[in-house]
Amino acid sequence: MSDLTYTLEELNALSKEDAAFAFTNCCTASRWVAGMVEARPFDTIDQCHLAAKTIWDTMEEADFLEAFEGHPKIGDVTSLRKKYAHTKKLASGEQSSVSEANERTIAALAQGNTDYENKFGFIFIVCATGKSAAQMNDLLQARLPNERDTELQNAAQQQALITAIRINKLIRPQAIKGLTPR
């Protein structure tokens, strides 16, 4: 996600190119981005979210896969250690077996990501906000037995959740009509 944020008025006033750049930070499916650019102007953040959902609901497999490709792959141990570094800090005073368990969990998640991509042909997509490495691994393992069509839909639903969170980050809270910053 870019550090750029906008009020709704600023987002509505962006050139098509700049708006496309802004929306690409929320979801990299080019048809979704084009739809969002054309759906402007938005009077409220709710209208923006409704447009995002309505447009996403028209997407097809190729669009989903394009969106998934916009995510970093969390399939290597170095990336996973970096992503979950806060876990190690929180557990620093506990027994060493906790650290070993964390390493095992990270290694299992890395292997699970590889297995998932080999089976389905795309990376594991989950709305990871607030989830630990162990929770992510549990979710991955629970979804691994799925059929590809089922998993494509699961991943697409997770992508929609991720996109909604990113839209909330894209639009500054003071842009919401009726609210004033305190």
- Residue-wise pLDDT tens for the chain (182 aa)? 445 899 999 999 999 999 999 999 999 999 999 999 999 999 999 999 999 999 999 999 999 999 999 987 765 566 656 655 544 443 344 333 333 448 888 888 889 999 999 999 999 999 988 888 888 899 999 999 999 999 999 999 999 999 999 999 999 975 445 544 44
Is-contact 181 173, C-beta < 8 A? yes
Q: Which residues pair with 6 in a beta bridge?
A: 171
Strand extents, DSSP E, 21-178: none
Please state, in angstroms and rounded to a whole number, the distance separating the CA atoms of residues 48 and 27. Answer: 14
CA atoms within 13 A on the CB side of 23: 28
- Token pair, residue 86, equals 């806060």
Give the predicted TM-score (pTM) of the model.
0.81
Please state, in angstroms and rounded to a whole number, the distance separating the CA atoms of residues 67 and 55. Answer: 13
